[in-house]
Amino acid sequence: MRTLLITGPGGGGRTTVAAATALAAARDGVRTLVLSADRTDTLGSVLGVATGRVPVEVRDGLTAWRPDAAAGFRDDLAAFQQRASSVLDLLGASRLDPEEVTPLPGAEELTLLRALRDAALSERHDLLVVDLPATAEALALLALPEELRRYLRRLLPPERQAARALRPVLGRLAGVPMPSEWLYETAARWDLELAAVESVVTDRSTVVRLVAEPGPAGADAVRDATLGLALRGLRPDHLIANRVLPESAADSWLAAPVAQQRKTLEEWAQSYDVVRVAHPGRDPRGADDLAELAVPGAPDGPSRVEWPVEDRLADDGVLVWHLPLPGAIRDELDLIRRGDELVVSAGRFRRIVPLPSALRRCTVAGAALRDGELCIRFAPDPDLWPQTR
């Protein structure tokens, strides 16, 4: 199955484009599932069919699904209380009834990740179209599996499970209960689930598509989104310029907006594969309205960005790691080496990435930003690098 992630600035028409894209793919004979996690049924309003926790067939080849975050949160909490019953009893904690549980902030995002994993592993569809939240929330969502797995490994290293026989002794010596077996089992299960989600996000068949209205605000949002996606190793296959006003409107009171969108479209055309979607003059509702939106359906190729390591040992005595970061500003870049990881900060975005194996035996010798690409030079550490004679 291929996965198509659709995002963009708030109010840019992401859900409408996601629904139109899924419909276009289904009409091309691609078995398609469109997924959203909004609390309100915006997707259903656009498709003309109510959506919810049970997938619903919109038409032949097209299914829509909006999982229920509240129900999922209640189920997870009930399972946690059951497994942690001994600890809760020790603390004298009062159990929560399912009826009094409401989802906490972030529950929708976690529900969407779980649904994304389940849908991607299914063989019932050929294409999964995901209506992601607005760009800032979407980027945080895409980073979540990798970050949570890193936190779990730091807090509960798997190798500590080897000392399970010593935990009762350590508990008596310390005078406090030590983490029990269920905690490590839960951490391992979470790690597997997060790994499954991460594999979907990082898969070469996963494609990101941006949606924005052409104009000053849209241009800033797209520039920001492109940098954030690049730091995750992603780039958009298409930029959907949504709600484009006709040039004929330049002779009316819309002259200023038309001029602004014309300038933005010219700038976007230099860096993106831009697809223009004309303003329909109303909010599309139902399959007939969506069919009028000229959006591409299933993606053709991958949108992942490679981070190659260039061997320049013979000429310059260094290895160079190339990180494409379009839109990055030199003064807003920061690099920190921490063991076998590199902390890369670009503007308001940050990612902690493991070093390729060859670079772990090197020291950072410098970095430069040229033409939207960060080039980091690594010099071999004589104490770690194999010597040749």
The tens digit of pLDDT for each residue in 22-49 reads 999 999 999 999 999 788 899 999 999 9
Q: For residues 374 and 369, give the distance between their C-alpha atoms in angstroms, rounded to a whole number.
A: 4
Taken in order of first residue, the domains within the chain and their CATH numbers are 2-69+103-291 (3.40.50.300), 309-380 (2.60.40.790)
Calpha distance 372→380 (Å, rounded)? 26
Structure pTM?
A: 0.84
Contact at 8 Å (CB) between 353 and 305? no
- In angstroms, the CA 125 to CA 139 distance is 25
112-116, 156-160, 302-306: which has the minimum mean pLDDT?
156-160
pLDDT category at 166 given cuts 50, 70, 90 is: very low
3-class DSSP state of 129 = strand
Question: What's residue 171's pLDDT?
Answer: 47
Could you tell me if residue 206 is left (phi over 0), alpha (psi between -120 and 50 degrees) or otherwise beta? beta
- Distance of alpha carbon 379 from the chain centroid: 33
Q: State both tokens at 80.
A: 């946690």
| Strand pairing class (349-354; 341-346) | antiparallel
Specify the pLDDT at position 190. Answer: 76
Q: What is the pLDDT of residues 207-216, one digit of tens each?
A: 999 999 999 9
Rg of the chain over CA atoms, in angstroms? 25
Closest CA relative to residue 19, chosen from 299, 285, 352, 218: 285
- Count of CB atoms within 10 A of residue 372's CB? 14
**Tokens representing 330?**
């030199």
| CA 154, 155, 159, 163 torsion-angle sign | positive
Predicted local distance difference test score (pLDDT) of residue 377: 96
Nearest Cα residue to 285 out of 62, 23, 59, 44: 44
Token digits of residue 257: 């907006």
Structure token digits, residue 32: 């398609």
Which residues on adjacent β-strands are paired with residue 209? 6
**Residue owning tokens 């996965």:** 3
pLDDT exceeds 90 at position 18: yes
Residue 389 has pLDDT above 50, yes or no: no
Phi and psi torsions of 147, nearest 5°: -70, -45
Compute the mean pLDDT over every residue in the chain, rounded to the nearest whole number. 84
**Angstrom distance (rounded) from CA 254 to CA 236:** 30
Tell me how far CA of residue 143 lies from CA of 110, 139, 240, 329, in angstroms: 12, 6, 23, 21
For the four alpha carbons of 261, 266, 269 and 271, in that order, the dihedral sign comes to: negative
**Which segments of 17-117 are extended strands (E)?**
32-36, 56-59, 62-65
For the cut 90, the answer to whether the pLDDT of residue 325 exceeds it is yes
